[in-house]
Structure 1
Amino acid sequence: MFKHSQLESVQAWLANPAHAAMPLHARIQRAVRQLILDGALGPGKPLPATRALAKSLGVSRDTVESAYAQLYAEGFIERRVGSGSFVAEMTEFTYGHRSSKRDALLRNQAPNLSKRGSAMFRSGGVREMLMPQPFAHGVPETRSFPIRLWERLERQVLKEVGTRALLHCDPQGAEPLRQAIADYLNLERGARATADRVLVLTSSQQAMTLCANMLLDPGDSIFIEDPSYYGARKAFDAAGLECVPVRVDRQGIVVERIMDNPGRAKAVFLTPSHQFPTGATLTLDRRLALIEWAARNQAWIIEDDYDSEFHYSGKPTACVQGLDPHDRTIYIGTFTKSLFPGLRIGYVVLPPQLVKPMALGRTLLDGHTASMAQLTLARFMEGGHFGSHVRTMRGIYAQRLDVLADQVNKHLSGFVEPRVPIGGLQMPCMMTCDIPERVAIDAGRRAGVELLGLSALHAGDDGKAGFLMGFAAYTPAEIEGAVRKLAKALKSLRRK
């Protein structure tokens, strides 16, 4: 159990009016995290049982469980079946080698950061798996990428441009790549793009951070989907924005909440083609309603089209940007999902009036994107190889999705209900048993299976339990083996 002073610290976080906009589980999580960062809870120290802490704070046990789940996901605590939760060793979230306890504590304490820096530090960042294993989400198949073709195109670029490829590049991006991106989006996504409206960046995450800092001031509000992509929420939180959650149903974001209070926010963030994490597609009438809302209120639509290349049923809906005659939509895309994560190339299609400010703004972040990668990618797209690769992967991913859905129905019936998506790289599954989400995810991880919990992606404490299962990067045999491992792990929990 916490000491009296530690319990008072957590209670103060719950009662502080400045934290009122946060859901309860987030306030508890941040209060406990601050105790760890301050050194009040040292490495290896036990945390109160969820039931005991819930009783002390006067909240539900599920609320405390959600807080602990987030602390575990960020590496601040360890969870041991039958023993409880403990503060992780300092080396879990600090840099350098193990040294004295005092030095470790000093390294782990937040320095005198700005409010925005503190928010970035507290967020825990966005972490990717260096060596993904089933069922890590958002990871494409890389083992079958035509790497020899890529190497040949890279040699061609070097032969033609020589040492110019070693110099600085235009901050807006290499013109051949910007033209190739515009041509592709106009043909495949129904966009209204020209090369001079494309800004090449390193990732969609950078694009969201740039939008948050260039278009909105600290304290401004932005509508976001609920549930939503965690990277977007963290980018907006770190910029000092107030994220206003808007419920998502099977037709995408529920626009009535926005229409009922149109001046509540200066922007809306959407994943309309394939909503993360539910997989819903935003209907045409809702897209048009949002376009009119943005025009009337001089607001921005930030459209993240992160994996729209992979559509397995019917024809994909045209992007919002292509439907917007008022130039209030900022379209974000990335090659991380369609090609390979190590490429580090994303892009935005901007309204004309934003091109110069955004291009100048990105020079303060990283200057420009590497010339060689841009020129090689441009050649890859111009030669038709990108389209060919996407079509090949679309067929492979569709097969893998079918295998995953079949295996989940076969081996995990009674534990989860799959929601088979019409596109994307991951499948959501809703839990239908009484095993807590975090317990199921921990059991899967011990069995060598990686899952992303769904409840923590909701703004409130009422998110339905479940998890995302990525399938794109794993062969049918790997998928089948991992589902069997997960089924065995969940069955062992039920026997207990």
Structure 2
Amino acid sequence: MPTRTPSALWAQQFRRTPESKATLQHQIRQMLVAAILDGQLPPDSALPSSRELADQLGVARNTVVLAYQMLVEEGYLLSRERSGHFVNPEMLQGLHGLTARQPEPGTDLAQGGETPARPAWQSRIVRPPSAQRNIVKPANWQNYAYPFIYGQFDQSLFPTNDWRECCMKALSIMEIRNWAPDLIERDDESLIQQIRTRVLPRRGVFAMPEEIIITNGCQQALYLVADLLCGKRTTVGFENPGYPDARNIFVNRNAHLLELPVDAEGIDPQRLADSLARCDYVYVTPSHQCPTTATMPIERRRALLELAQRHDFVIIEDDYESENTFSGTPHPALKSLDTADRVIYVGSLSKTFAPGLRLGYVVGPQELIRELRALRRLMVRHPVAYIQRAFATFLALGHHDALLRRLAHAYKERAQALMAALDAHLPEVRYVPVTGGASCWVEGPPWLDAARLADDAREAGILIEPGGVFFADEAERSPWFRMGFSAIKLEKIEPGVRALAQVVRQQQPA
């Protein structure tokens, strides 16, 4: 006979929080599903009537009725005429069967009562990724008063209505037919077309559909390229300072890194000609060098391409924030000057929009893209097709262009406010003037320890990024740090820098 759950259980389980944005129906469904999956409700147990539960929770009866109906459709509950609603035993059969087979803590499984030997994972993992030097950002960065961090978004600038419109269009019956099937190695054709006609021409790049592949952000793009092209005998020229994740990717693929020093205009090909001649590949961020934000002038770009042709190396151009320019006109990409397929172009679609979407792409010769597709198939087959289709619509309706104009205006204001605040409150530091992008590269006085500064600043509610991780030798550049302004409100910048100045002076020698 089905058991009935005690009424006190529901009043205890249900916690209505005024600040919650979820509907009451959603909260009730969530409570019931959790109680079922956590084993608090045994199979075939009876739930209170809709009227009884509504009275216990202090909600309208119709809200409970709708919640019950949805859970019946999802298979969690069974509705029996004149009897009420019951927990579906089939829903829990697999879950409880697996749970029943789990050994009790301390139970010996080996014969003779001996403790079974566990694999020595530390010796099995050849190159532990967790030991790499990475940029570290608190998961709860939004709770800090002054988040001067890079690569996060400002909710007030997010085009919520526009993106919702595109997502709803992608959920129409006709559109679902396009993205619901497994694309295997293919990408959404409409997104490829939008990249060809709306995104790349702004950078002076023209490509055929078979020369473009979509990736889960620039990060996967770089990993795919490195995995395909790098080995123990591969030498990669790498900017110093440079992007830590890219450095880790190439090292992980056993490539030898040749550090290329960066000045106020990026790497200098003429001065580094001998080093470049030894490279198989050269990784550069010419539009906004990471992390210094320096822009490589056209003369250096041409010189780099000339050396690539002369010494037979390939350039990997990471154009991670090409669209973030205050002038409104992006700098022509290095790829736009390439006439011999010497440049593999990596770009991002989501960095300026919503980093969590993870949309990037690679432009390269057809034979390279074909192999990248085959390699990507082994990893993820393809990025989420629904997101691809929604973003294609976002581009086609002009929402992306409008967003870039708003961001350019907002970021220009914030950059000017940040530089003015640094001049006023931290005259002892030097910084690279910001002309685009979403960060400022700052050099403190020689006595400053930026890693310690970041720790002390965090205690004061201020987030900055110590610059040591960007250098090949972290110990040699402790005064450097990066300040992002994409995630911080304009009115917070000046007081944030003023508060940071107080932390800096706590380190100043007497």
| Aligned CA distance change for structure 1 residues 196 and 443 (closer, same or farther; 3 Å) | same
| Aligned CA distance change for structure 1 residues 487 and 463 (closer, same or farther; 3 Å) | closer
| Aligned CA distance change for structure 1 residues 301 and 152 (closer, same or farther; 3 Å) | same
Give the match for residue 123 of structure 1: 132
CA distance in 2, matches of 1:323, 1:312: 23
Give the match for residue 306 of structure 1: 320
Q: Deviations over 1:453-492 (max 9, x none)?
A: 2233222454362210001221122222322321222233
**Structure 1: stretches of 5+ with no match in the other structure:** 1-98, 101-105
Q: CA deviation at 1:438?
A: 2.2
Give the match for residue 451 of structure 2: 438
Partner of 2:380: helix, strand, or coil? coil
Q: CA deviation at 1:344?
A: 1.3
Letter in 2 for 1:418: Y
Q: Residue 202 of structure 2 contacts residue 330 of structure 2 at CA under 8 Å; is this kept in 1?
A: no
Letter in 1 for 2:122: P
Match of 1:427 among 420, 440, 458: 440
Give the match for residue 112 of structure 1: 123
Out of 173-182 and 309-318, give the one that drifted further.
309-318
CA distance in 2, matches of 1:197, 1:219: 27
Q: Residue 270 of structure 2 contacts residue 303 of structure 2 at CA under 8 Å; is this kept in 1?
A: no
Computing the radius of gyration from Cα coordinates, the structure with the larger value is: 2
Q: Deviations over 1:155-194 (max 9, x none)?
A: 1122122355332225342111011112123431111223
CA distance in 2, matches of 1:437, 1:287: 32
CA distance in 1, matches of 2:441, 2:266: 15
CA distance in 2, matches of 1:427, 1:473: 13
Give the match for residue 84 of structure 2: none
CA distance in 1, matches of 2:234, 2:466: 29
Give the match for residue 52 of structure 2: none
CA distance in 1, matches of 2:409, 2:119: 47
Match of 2:166 among 130, 153, 161: 153
CA distance in 2, matches of 1:107, 1:474: 47
Give the match for residue 237 of structure 2: 223
Q: CA deviation at 1:280?
A: 1.1
Q: Residue 335 of structure 1 contacts residue 346 of structure 1 at CA under 8 Å; is this kept in 2?
A: yes
In the alignment of these two chains, the number of paired residues is 390
Q: CA deviation at 1:142?
A: 3.2
Out of 130-139 and 215-224, give the one that drifted further.
130-139
* 1:368 maps onto 2:379 in alignment: no
Out of 247-256 and 429-438, give the one that drifted further.
429-438
Q: Deviations over 1:209-229 (max 9, x none)?
A: 111110121241100111101
CA distance in 1, matches of 2:217, 2:135: 12
Q: Deviations over 1:255-292 (max 9, x none)?
A: 13542144412100000001011111112122112222
CA distance in 2, matches of 1:387, 1:323: 24
Q: Residue 452 of structure 1 contacts residue 469 of structure 1 at CA under 8 Å; is this kept in 2?
A: yes
CA distance in 2, matches of 1:417, 1:161: 52
Letter in 1 for 2:280: K
- Identity value in percent: 29
Q: Residue 136 of structure 1 contacts residue 451 of structure 1 at CA under 8 Å; is this kept in 2?
A: yes
Give the match for residue 461 of structure 2: 448
Map residues 471-482 of structure 1 onto 2, 5 A cutoff.
471-482=485-496
* 1:338 maps onto 2:352 in alignment: yes
Q: Residue 172 of structure 1 contacts residue 198 of structure 1 at CA under 8 Å; is this kept in 2?
A: no
Give the match for residue 38 of structure 2: none
Give the match for residue 176 of structure 2: 162
* 1:240 maps onto 2:254 in alignment: yes
Q: Residue 119 of structure 1 contacts residue 237 of structure 1 at CA under 8 Å; is this kept in 2?
A: no
**Structure 2: stretches of 5+ with no match in the other structure:** 1-104, 107-116
Give the match for residue 392 of structure 2: 378
Q: Residue 190 of structure 2 contacts residue 392 of structure 2 at CA under 8 Å; is this kept in 1?
A: yes
Map residues 184-199 of structure 1 onto 2, 5 A cutoff.
184-199=198-213
| Aligned CA distance change for structure 1 residues 286 and 178 (closer, same or farther; 3 Å) | same
TM-score by length of 2: 0.71
CA distance in 2, matches of 1:463, 1:484: 24
Give the match for residue 349 of structure 1: 363
CA distance in 2, matches of 1:220, 1:495: 46
Out of 263-272 and 311-320, give the one that drifted further.
311-320
Q: CA deviation at 1:495?
A: 8.0
Map residues 246-325 of structure 1 onto 2, 5 A cutoff.
246-256=260-270, 258-313=272-327, 315-325=329-339
Q: CA deviation at 1:329?
A: 0.8
Match of 2:480 among 447, 466, 471: 466
Q: Deviations over 1:100-140 (max 9, x none)?
A: 9xxxxx9998533354xx15342156655434351111223
CA distance in 1, matches of 2:466, 2:176: 48
TM-score by length of 1: 0.73
Q: CA deviation at 1:153?
A: 1.6
Q: CA deviation at 1:241?
A: 0.9
Q: Residue 135 of structure 2 contacts residue 469 of structure 2 at CA under 8 Å; is this kept in 1?
A: no
Q: CA deviation at 1:398?
A: 0.4
Give the match for residue 52 of structure 1: none
Map residues 126-141 of structure 1 onto 2, 5 A cutoff.
129-132=138-141, 133=144, 134-141=147-154
Letter in 1 for 2:240: D
| Aligned CA distance change for structure 1 residues 310 and 262 (closer, same or farther; 3 Å) | closer
Match of 1:144 among 152, 157, 161: 157
Give the match for residue 17 of structure 1: none
CA distance in 2, matches of 1:193, 1:147: 31
Let me know the Cα RMSD of the aligned residues. 2.5
CA distance in 2, matches of 1:128, 1:165: 34
Letter in 2 for 1:112: S
Out of 321-330 and 166-175, give the one that drifted further.
166-175
Q: CA deviation at 1:433?
A: 5.6
* 1:327 maps onto 2:356 in alignment: no
